[in-house]
Amino acid sequence: MWVFASLSVTSTSTGKASFHPGKRVRHKANHYARLRKRLQQKGTRGAKRRIRRIAQRERRLKQQANHSIAKQIVKEHPHTLLGLEDLTGIRERTRRRKRRRKKNGKGFERVSPKARKANRVYSQWSFAELHALISYKAARSGSLAVKVDADYTSQGCPMCGHTTDENRPGKGLLFVCQNPECRYTLHADLVGARTITMRTLLVRHDWIRTGCLSLIPDASARFAKAARLSRYAELRWSLDVTTSLRSLSGGQ
């Protein structure tokens, strides 16, 4: 499962995808942000009390949305291994539009309203809560949720493996592989979800073969991650991803 521009995008090994955009929730959150800005400018005691009530209301709205998404995901994928993208430090890793100094050196260029809204979504949405709810609900329904590395999920082509920032023109939601022999094109969020699917299947494959969730459980975190990324680079997407996993493991 991938969480980014949409609140959540899921993909199965057979290619079935589900989008959970959450437009209604984001629209309401943007409304609260505009209202909060006006109240902050007002600055009265009554305005401050209303700001606190708005914050509580917005928190309940997002919590309800996370509960709904988690319930739907677990219901659609019962008794299975769910792969969640490890979003630790996503706010630090996500590139955001910032004010840039003007060419003449005097003052700063304004960030567009659209970019400001995107920055606010990334900084305020409770991804950790969504993951916790999915893990909790999955365990209660007989499933298991594991986290897999998020590195290059939106930059690497799942068909040919070509990895570069340019695969997402303008950092938008369209993924276009820049390999001239591939040119694979798809929604960027779905590319990320399929990449997470392949990595989760690799985790399951190693678990079945070795009895461990990690192929090298005693290694340092940095060395283990480097080994995982090396293996991820060999994965290729197909409607039967288990075929590529067998070839990757030498037919074992």
What digits encode the pLDDT tens for the residues 206-242? Answer: 888 888 776 555 556 788 888 888 989 889 998 665 5
Name the token pair of 179. Answer: 């390999």
The secondary element (H helix, E strand) that includes residue 231 is: helix 221-232
Domain range summary for the chain, segments of one domain joined by +: 1-92+120-148
This model's pTM is above 0.95: no
How far is it, in rounded angstroms, from Cα 149 to Cα 196? Answer: 8
The amino acid that residue 57 corresponds to is R
DSSP string, 23-41: HHHHHHHHHHHHHHHHHHH
Q: What confidence score (pLDDT) does residue 4 get?
A: 47
Backbone angles phi, psi at 67, to 5 degrees: -60, -45
Mean pLDDT taken over the chain: 81
Distance CA 252, CA 245 (A): 9
* Torsion of the alpha carbons at 41, 45, 51 and 57, rounded to the nearest 10: -160
What is the per-residue pLDDT across 147-181, written as a single tens digit (0 to 9) for each? 999 889 989 999 999 999 999 988 788 999 999 99
- Rounded to 10°, the helix 221-232/188-210 angle is 110
Q: For 66-123, what is each residue's pLDDT tens digit?
A: 999 999 999 998 899 999 988 776 655 555 555 555 566 666 666 666 666 555 555 5
Distance CA 126, CA 109 (A): 30
Name the residue with tokens 């677990």: 74
Strands 100-101 and 144-148: unpaired
Looking at residue 114, its pLDDT comes to 60
